[in-house]
Amino acid sequence: MNAKFIAEGIAFDAYMAYHRERLKLKDGLDRVDQLRKYEVVEREDHYAILYRDGVDAGMPKIYARVDKDV
């Protein structure tokens, strides 16, 4: 497997896990960021999995990273 494929799999799993947990909430569902997206960004020696939410004006946050030498 190549590193980009692994990073994309991690991003998809994180997206699905987040939304599954969000749907389990009974109260306050409207207060939870429903548009959280995960994306894979290529850097020099690794792929970064970033997500954006409604906190900090939507600045990207690093969820994980996968080295290209996998």
pLDDT tens digits along 28-58: 666 666 678 899 999 999 999 999 877 776 7
Helix (H) or strand (E) holding 49: strand 46-52
- As a whole number of Å, the end-to-end CA separation of the chain is 8
Going by pLDDT thresholds of 50, 70 and 90, the confidence category of residue 1 is confident
Average pLDDT, the chain: 85
Residues 6+ positions from 33 with CB-CB distance below 8 Å: 53, 54, 55
Closest CA to 12 of 47, 38, 50, 46: 38
> Which SS3 state, helix, strand or coil, does residue 10 take?
helix
Per the CB < 8 A criterion, the answer to whether 33 and 53 are in contact is yes
pLDDT value at residue 58: 73
